[in-house]
Amino acid sequence: MLPWSRLLNADTRQLSFGGDWTEEKLWHVRAYLQAYVTALKNQPYFQTAYIDGFAGTGTVRLPAPDPPENLLLPDLDSPETVSETRDYMVGSAKMALEVKPSFDRYVLIEKDGGHARELSEMTERFPSLVDRIEVITDDANVAVRRLCDSWDWKKHRAVLFLDPFGMQVDWSTIEVVARTRAIDMWYLFPVGAVIRLLRRDGRIDQTWGARLTATFGCDDWGGVFYQTTEEAGLFGDLLCTTRTASLERVGAYFLDRLSTVFGGVAPMARVLCNSKNVPLYLLCFAVATQNVKGQTLALRIANHILQMKD
């Protein structure tokens, strides 16, 4: 069992503590994948699929130091940055291929060409699955939206894992995923990067403001994370802006945003911290189906897994 972790409850704003965040995220997602394929193994109606939006190289290279905080910022997207971050962020693709029973399809998306080649080489270690695996070298937003728009979702059910190293996922992608009504989504939301962009004085660069709007899918975050008050000054009243953003407030706001487009959202989000106990990500779960029975089952499983210790 890992020594510490955090769980954020959007309703009670309570935190609990526990384990190493890279292993922790993979452990929880793997547990859900195992439950998912087991539950659907005997159904004749759908093809099951696993979609990985940031698949990396498919292998885990540990131990590695915590990523510098600036690597979580959305403009740092060079191959060098990706490589350094991926030393700490890979493993989900191989993990999914090892789950039994197997998915009917695997779509592994990786923007970096070199990593995509390594990923393809890794998949060759699974000869029984080779005809089921598709490796796509493209931006995750573009590739995921294309899949969502082109597949027949009356015949498919999928689990999507979005594991970005920063604020690369656009809200428009989230909306397209939700519209399928057939995808269960695990999203490693970069709460640490969001909080760093929310300057204490409220003076946010236009580029960063646009990135925050693209991440949340609306521009009312300023009124949520800042409070403006009047204070008496030497030359009259002054308007003072105070940041009210916190881990709990940002997390609750994002889960509320997810609930506007998804059929169901787990009220618990796993808070993943670095070795200095600084929050980096929220591991969030949302289910797109509007089917009450399917939605209830998926949320019950995800809620149970999110509260489990590794």
- Asked if residue 86 is part of any domain, the answer here is yes
Question: Nearest to residue 49, comparing CAs of 116, 109, 90, 91?
Answer: 109
- Asked if residue 172 is part of any domain, the answer here is yes
- Asked if residue 292 is part of any domain, the answer here is yes
Total domains in the fold of the chain: 1
Range of the domain at 103: 6-198+246-307
Element (H, E) at 231: strand 226-233
Task: Locate 96 and state its tokens.
Answer: 């999914």
- Asked if residue 224 is part of any domain, the answer here is no
- Asked if residue 222 is part of any domain, the answer here is no
Q: How many angstroms separate the CA atoms of 187 and 269, rounded? A: 10
Q: How many angstroms separate the CA atoms of 273 and 277, rounded? A: 5
Give bridge partners of residue 273 from the DSSP assignment: 279
Q: How many angstroms separate the CA atoms of 224 and 250, rounded? A: 9
Give tens-digit pLDDT for 100-152: 999 999 999 999 999 999 999 999 999 999 999 999 999 999 999 999 999 99
- Asked if residue 229 is part of any domain, the answer here is no
> Under a CB-based contact definition with an 8 Å cutoff, are residues 280 and 274 in contact?
yes
Give tens-digit pLDDT for 7-25: 565 443 333 333 477 888 9
- Asked if residue 121 is part of any domain, the answer here is yes
The reported pTM is 0.84
Residue 239 has pLDDT above 70, yes or no: no
The whole-chain average pLDDT of the chain stands at 84
User: Which CATH number is 281's domain given?
Assistant: 3.40.50.150
- Asked if residue 291 is part of any domain, the answer here is yes
Give tens-digit pLDDT for 185-235: 999 999 999 999 998 888 888 999 999 999 999 999 988 998 866 665 555
